[in-house]
Structure 1
Amino acid sequence: MRMMQFSIVVLLLVSTLFLSNASAEDYTRWHLPKEAKARIGKGHVSGNIAFSPDNKLLGVPSTIGTWIYDTETGEALHLFTGHIDSINAIAFSPDGKILASGGNHEDKTIQLWDVQTGTHIAALHGHAKSVSCIVFSPDGQTLVSADWGEDAAIYLWNVATGALKSTLTGYSQGVSSVAFRPDGTLLINGNNDSICVWNPINGTHTTALAPTIGVGYVTFSADGSQFAGSRGSDVLIWDTVSLHQKLKITGHLPVITAIAFSPDSRTLASGGWDHKVRLWDIATVTSRSVLLGHTSGIASLAFSPDGKTLASSGSWTDLTIRLWDTATGTQETTLVGQRHRVASLAFSPDGSTLASASDDQSVCLWDVTTGYHQATLSWQNTNSPSNLAFSPDGQTLAIEGRAGIRLWDITSRPYKIKWSTSSTSAESFALSPDGRMLASGKKDGTVLLWDAISGDVKTVLRGHTEWVGSIAFSPNGKTLASTGWHKDKTIHLWDVVTGSHKLTLTGHTERITRLAFSPNGKTLASASSDGTILLWEFPLAQLTAGAPSFLTKDTNNNHTLNAVLQNYPNPFNPETWIPYQLSEPAEVTVRIYAANGTLIRTLAVGHRPAGIHTHQGDAVYWDGKNEFGEPVASGVYFYTLSTESTRDSVTAGDFTATRKMLIQK
């Protein structure tokens, strides 16, 4: 036993020597989900922004967490993560030591954070709906929060204990704002019906005023010398006296609706609701240029095969297709002709033709050099085409819509349909790199793999809980990535040959809108409505030889082996999940160790069935606290998972394994 303890300590100490300085990493690598290597964007601003009482800090809530900025330099200092949905409201305590944040409808919690250390203090549970606003009393002893929606309420919390003191009810249309009188004797709130005045001591209602018009995400500093507001993807700070803008904080992206890799894999193009097309340098994860011209959100993006031209399409009120010079960022050509939103774009392999699919139930073919409209392929169905792909030889154009998939022979005149799956609806679609296989996502959460030559279904992949929103093949055609739509915010990776599930990736806080593999096969990008693009290292460590997999099998008898997998997110603050898999039912225990070998926490998981335990409701949860309920400090920690077989015959099922993790505050 002593030898085992000594071995664990040695392992912990040696591993610590090789830990990189995570605190030196830039914000694109803060609190990444498991297996992700970088994040583009900080999430779009999702609630009110707030100054700290000393005016030195600015809190900005987003769809991925609350950012803390230095108001003089604009430098990002912290990112507080812990909500499972976007953040609607934040507030600093009067002494500036605590930040409170309130979550949206899937979260409905209030989280309290230590501003200086970034430590999570407490979670307040009690809201039945989304948290609409938060404010501290002037003495800092009471926190007031309110609901959105019908039958909303105002909640008064004891900050020291986290206990709910009282609830003020009677709001039929939600509460949009709350504020204390500076002396703390009155509490007022605004809503769609009226302004109400309350006594915060005894919770009695004193009066109601006439309706008023609400105000957006704007806030004054405590001394009134400056004010801040959000505008699109930027946060701006102005001087109150001169009314001059003194600082602009960038990086908060809107809903991202389109992404595309350049052929050399060095650049990622993204487009979103802010009408802008951005070109990102993948190596540095920085914005290279912003292309302006569209007058509505971006629907689709596509690079030409030589990477010199980028095609983009607008949506709704902007029915244009624009061709951009990627070297200079200048617009070369505008293609006009389709009567509704252009949902998808695709270049032919030789780059001479651009295909565009529109909600007007047509697919147009354009001459890229002249901009001439060559032909129109009519969908002739009430469900318009939404995805396009050329075969590698350029002779076939695959078109997908909710009415099914059609393959057109575009070398014939007139154009002919090779085969169609009109009886099978599709929500998403991809053509394999060799053109021999099609993948289509259905509304029931399944993915169908088709033989592109015969039109026969070869495999059905099951795993998503709702319709499949986006699909992409890896460049070698061996892996298929798929994502859910609304509540299913997961990415599934599949083995194309066997049809087996390889891995599930999680990390986005809102719907995933697009997936794309880089042509060199080293990166998988996922874009989301949360205003971020996550870049995943590919092939993922979990899929490479020598690392435990979510489906580790004994090749001799084809059953699942025991394994402890890498925690996620990692680095993390303050909570994380530890996935594992069991070959048979067992009693599971996880022990958390500090880098010096000190036992920090024992998590008695209990009896668990055989199988794969990876999702948050099934994996081992650690809240980042020790046995006494105190948050642990930043640094390296190790977790050891051990099992005791429940079979009566032998202890051969007993298993122990250790992995490293990092708390970064």
Structure 2
Amino acid sequence: MAVRKSVGIFLGIIFFSFLIKVSVAQFSHQLLFGHTNRVLALAYSPDGRLVASAGDDRKIRIWSVDQNLSMVVLSGHQSKVIDLVFYGNNQLISASEDKTIRIWDIDKGLELDRFVLRSGRLTSIDFNPKSDSLVSGSSDGIVRLWNLKTKTLFAAFNQHQGIVWSVEFSPSGTHIVAGFEEKTVHLWEIESKTLVSTFTGHRSRVWKVLFNFDGSQVISADWDGVVFLWDIYEPESRNSLETYDQPVLSMAYSNSNNMLALGLAGSPTDETLKLWNLSSRREIKSFDSNSRYAIAFSPDEVSMVAAGAVDGTISIWQSGFAKPKFLLPKEEALINTSEVDFSWEVVPGAAYYELEVSTNPDFNQPLVEVSSTEQLTAQIGENFFSKFSNQFVLPLATTYWWHVRSGSFGGVSGWSQQKSFSTLYIPPPKCVVRVAPRNRRIDLNDEFLVSVWVESVRDLVGFQFDLKWTNPNCISFVTTTRFNEILPHSSGIKRLPKEAIRDPFFQLDQKSGLYRNIVATKEGETGVDGSGILLSVLFRAIAVGSCQVQLENLILLDSNQNEIECEIYKANVLVENPARPWDVNNDKVVNVFDLSLVARYFGLPIPLDLEINPDINGDGVVNIFDFTFVAVHFGEVYEKNSLLAPSVVAENLFQDTLFPNYPNPFNPDTWIPFQLSKSTDLTIQIHDFNGTLVREFNLGVLMAGQYTSQRKAVYWNGRNNLGEKVPSGTYFYSMLTPDFQQARKMIIVK
């Protein structure tokens, strides 16, 4: 896309209300523009044809879902609009901090009626179509019930618990739940007008409350980021769903598959939209980076609308689910390695995938049931141990059957047709102690975990070691997160019989990069067999550079006080400075959102409290030069996603391939992605235009698979084998294996 054309399109954002379609988190994604500030309230009409939105700019916009247009603008509120509910398909009810609840005729664009509070400001409303009643919460601590037919107030509940932040009717319309400033949740029965239950346990204001599909559970979220599930029949029994680092601003519930959507306050370190499967109590999807003050599911639960960005943008995600098509392993494949990769074609709009592996084609007793948002890898054999998000352990067997299905907030697909594969792999009996992950690329100032694992150990009664990081100026110790998950919890801390050092236990020397005398011992005559974590440590990246994390003075003892032999592996850490101002919203993808933010402030003074910086080149003006920076880097992905489009990878899935480097042209660094059809010895070479060897990467023997993400692709910093910067010009990079050779061209521009 030419820069001039991009500018022409996105300058329109400043003046008009319209829609843009993009693709985010595998969902079809629509953007609605029209509000000039935060959107705080959203609602779907019962027939799903309309979406209503409102917020800080006091305007209520009615959007046609089919035509993707802002059809009606309702004006009249004197302060921000904080909540919306539809009253049938043609009328809307709004609540504002101007103390009014207003009923609007959407077709005529007129106000029909209003309720006025004498005390307090409104915070929340909900509508019950079964009784034609409305419930409201307000800052004076009163929950009010209104009869919409008679336009009268017929009940008020005051628990003297401070501000009522959220109210909702139960699905049956027989109960009301409310969340309060004073950290409590209250449940009333409407007919008797009595308080049924009080739920306590929150440590800050309860910002949002919901009922589940049958009204048997209440879901509450607070300003500390804590989400609870409550049984309305057992108010003393609470279940903590999750605790986040930032406030939960909004919630929405999907009846079709018991799914909960959470919207969080914006954070530079965490994604703000969370999808939870309440049946499995598991977070299945996390995406987006803007604060999300409002979320709503469409009545058919195929779409989800969310808002909260400072520029008033509204996002609509379309879900989808279908039977995934298998890629690997092939039907009746014979596996002779310790790992099996499970992959399938991406289903557009899917939020997660469920995989089952069994030793029989009936799947009546699956060996493994895994839910994931990404492709999965199984480690075969009980002697292996892993808790990485995309890995699981598969017990050793001869033949396996597997199938997969996709799911989203709209539902779950049927299972794909099952396939089988066989294995000849026999796990080795040797003991291994490794610092994992083996290779990490970390952004400057990020925190990351490093774990010490022991695998395939037998008769273990005690261990002791020092943890060393070779460059303390690059990374620093933050805290210990896990310790001794191999020996029983009753294990003690005492010196091993073979220990000669007499320094104190668990001694931290931050300056030298050393954590000394980490020790645990087991009482009794018999040792422990298996695998597990010895230690997990949280580090922080404090300077650009490289570092190794390794073990020193390791001792593993068996029950006979003999030292256990083992292989020891260290970890490599590379800290990089990710300063990329063209990624305006810092979501690590340069896309339409970054262009829209530059367009939003084009030619305007930048607010001092703005969380993002659309002035990319720092000249004090948002102008055509800032558009140019975004356009040049458009489509770049800096972390979680692959460097390649899914279609590019799929076309070459079963052959050795050297892919185009990314970015190209570049300055000063680039990534070289590739894939291997089988385990092989690999070398990457870079030559200048005259054929002189500039840089060589001897990667050794690599497993079959795709090396297309920034963490797996070969990274070149534009320097030769002597560490000197190479000049601008054309270079050729090649991929060399015993059976394959391929070369491509790249350009350095300085």
Structure 1 contact 32–570 (Cα < 8 Å) conserved: no
CA RMSD, Structure 1 to Structure 2 (Å): 4.3
- How far off its partner does 1:525 sit? 0.8
> Higher relative CO (CA 8 A, sep ≥ 6), structure 1 or 2?
1
Structure 2 partner of 1:286: 69
- How far off its partner does 1:376 sit? 1.1
| Residue identity in the other structure for 1:496 | L
Change (3 A) 1:592 1:477: closer
Number of matched pairs: 386
Looking at structure 1, the residues matched to 146 and 677 of structure 2 have their Cα atoms a distance apart, in angstroms, of 62
Q: Write the mapping of 1:53-452 to structure 2, written as runs, cut at 5 A.
A: 251=34, 253-304=36-87, 306-315=88-97, 318-382=98-162, 384-402=163-181, 403-412=183-192, 415-424=193-202, 425=204, 426-452=206-232
Listed as ranges, the gaps of 5+ residues in structure 2 are 1-7, 13-17, 326-343, 358-366, 378-389, 392-405, 407-587, 594-632, 681-699, 710-750
Structure 2 contact 137–143 (Cα < 8 Å) conserved: yes
Change (3 A) 1:543 1:288: farther
Change (3 A) 1:571 1:532: closer
Structure 2 partner of 1:557: 368
The CA deviation string for residues 91-116 of structure 1, in whole angstroms up to 9 with x for no partner, is: xxxxxxxxxxxxxxxxxxxxxxxxxx
The CA deviation string for residues 39-72 of structure 1, in whole angstroms up to 9 with x for no partner, is: 4444xxxxxxxxxxxxxxxxxxxxxxxxxxxxxx
The more displaced of 495-504 and 450-459 is: 450-459
Q: Write the mapping of 1:21-36 to structure 2, written as runs, cut at 5 A.
A: 28-29=19-20, 33-36=24-27
The CA deviation string for residues 563-604 of structure 1, in whole angstroms up to 9 with x for no partner, is: 799x967779624437769xxxxxx997999899996644xx
Structure 1 contact 427–443 (Cα < 8 Å) conserved: yes
- How far off its partner does 1:644 sit? 9.3
| Residue identity in the other structure for 1:276 | K
Structure 2 contact 658–674 (Cα < 8 Å) conserved: no
Structure 2 partner of 1:498: 280
Secondary structure of the residue aligned to 1:427 is strand
Looking at structure 2, the residues matched to 286 and 599 of structure 1 have their Cα atoms a distance apart, in angstroms, of 45
Change (3 A) 1:418 1:652: farther
Looking at structure 2, the residues matched to 401 and 525 of structure 1 have their Cα atoms a distance apart, in angstroms, of 26
The answer to whether residue 685 in structure 2 is matched with residue 656 in structure 1 is: no
Secondary structure of the residue aligned to 1:283 is coil
Looking at structure 1, the residues matched to 676 and 637 of structure 2 have their Cα atoms a distance apart, in angstroms, of 16
Structure 1 partner of 2:495: none
Looking at structure 2, the residues matched to 34 and 432 of structure 1 have their Cα atoms a distance apart, in angstroms, of 26
Secondary structure of the residue aligned to 2:113 is strand
Change (3 A) 1:331 1:460: same
| Residue identity in the other structure for 2:314 | I
Structure 1 contact 351–368 (Cα < 8 Å) conserved: no
Looking at structure 2, the residues matched to 264 and 519 of structure 1 have their Cα atoms a distance apart, in angstroms, of 7
Structure 1 contact 389–399 (Cα < 8 Å) conserved: yes
Structure 2 partner of 1:206: none
Secondary structure of the residue aligned to 1:455 is strand
Secondary structure of the residue aligned to 1:482 is strand
Structure 1 contact 641–656 (Cα < 8 Å) conserved: yes
Looking at structure 2, the residues matched to 463 and 543 of structure 1 have their Cα atoms a distance apart, in angstroms, of 33
Structure number with larger C-alpha Rg: 2
Structure 2 contact 22–30 (Cα < 8 Å) conserved: no
Structure 2 partner of 1:585: none
The answer to whether residue 405 in structure 2 is matched with residue 626 in structure 1 is: no
The CA deviation string for residues 438-489 of structure 1, in whole angstroms up to 9 with x for no partner, is: 2112344232122233235464333632221211111325111112124255
- How far off its partner does 1:653 sit? 6.0
Structure 1 contact 388–399 (Cα < 8 Å) conserved: yes
TM-score scaled by length of structure 1: 0.51
1:485 is matched with which residue: 239, 253, 265?
265
Secondary structure of the residue aligned to 1:29 is strand
Secondary structure of the residue aligned to 1:28 is strand
Looking at structure 1, the residues matched to 674 and 254 of structure 2 have their Cα atoms a distance apart, in angstroms, of 34
The more displaced of 415-424 and 450-459 is: 450-459
Change (3 A) 1:645 1:294: farther
Structure 1 partner of 2:28: 37
- How far off its partner does 1:296 sit? 1.3
| Residue identity in the other structure for 2:171 | P
Change (3 A) 1:524 1:593: closer
- How far off its partner does 1:369 sit? 1.8
Structure 1 partner of 2:455: none
Looking at structure 1, the residues matched to 47 and 90 of structure 2 have their Cα atoms a distance apart, in angstroms, of 11
Structure 1 contact 592–639 (Cα < 8 Å) conserved: no
Change (3 A) 1:455 1:579: farther
TM-score scaled by length of structure 2: 0.45
1:536 is matched with which residue: 317, 322, 326?
317
The CA deviation string for residues 541-577 of structure 1, in whole angstroms up to 9 with x for no partner, is: 8999964766765543356714799x96777962443
Looking at structure 1, the residues matched to 316 and 32 of structure 2 have their Cα atoms a distance apart, in angstroms, of 11
- How far off its partner does 1:539 sit? 4.5
| Residue identity in the other structure for 1:343 | T
Structure 1 contact 34–569 (Cα < 8 Å) conserved: no
Change (3 A) 1:590 1:534: closer
Identity in percent = 25
Looking at structure 2, the residues matched to 543 and 471 of structure 1 have their Cα atoms a distance apart, in angstroms, of 29
1:473 is matched with which residue: 253, 261, 271?
253
| Residue identity in the other structure for 1:536 | W
- How far off its partner does 1:628 sit? 4.1
Structure 1 contact 541–547 (Cα < 8 Å) conserved: no
Structure 1 contact 515–525 (Cα < 8 Å) conserved: yes
Looking at structure 2, the residues matched to 505 and 30 of structure 1 have their Cα atoms a distance apart, in angstroms, of 17
Secondary structure of the residue aligned to 1:370 is coil
Change (3 A) 1:447 1:645: farther
Change (3 A) 1:455 1:658: same
Structure 2 contact 136–143 (Cα < 8 Å) conserved: yes
- How far off its partner does 1:627 sit? 5.3
Listed as ranges, the gaps of 5+ residues in structure 1 are 1-22, 43-250, 582-587, 603-621, 633-637, 660-665
Structure 1 contact 591–600 (Cα < 8 Å) conserved: no
- How far off its partner does 1:499 sit? 0.4
Looking at structure 2, the residues matched to 538 and 400 of structure 1 have their Cα atoms a distance apart, in angstroms, of 30
| Residue identity in the other structure for 1:362 | I
Looking at structure 1, the residues matched to 189 and 679 of structure 2 have their Cα atoms a distance apart, in angstroms, of 60
Structure 2 contact 122–138 (Cα < 8 Å) conserved: yes
Looking at structure 2, the residues matched to 543 and 506 of structure 1 have their Cα atoms a distance apart, in angstroms, of 25
Structure 1 partner of 2:334: none
Secondary structure of the residue aligned to 2:19 is helix
Change (3 A) 1:292 1:640: farther
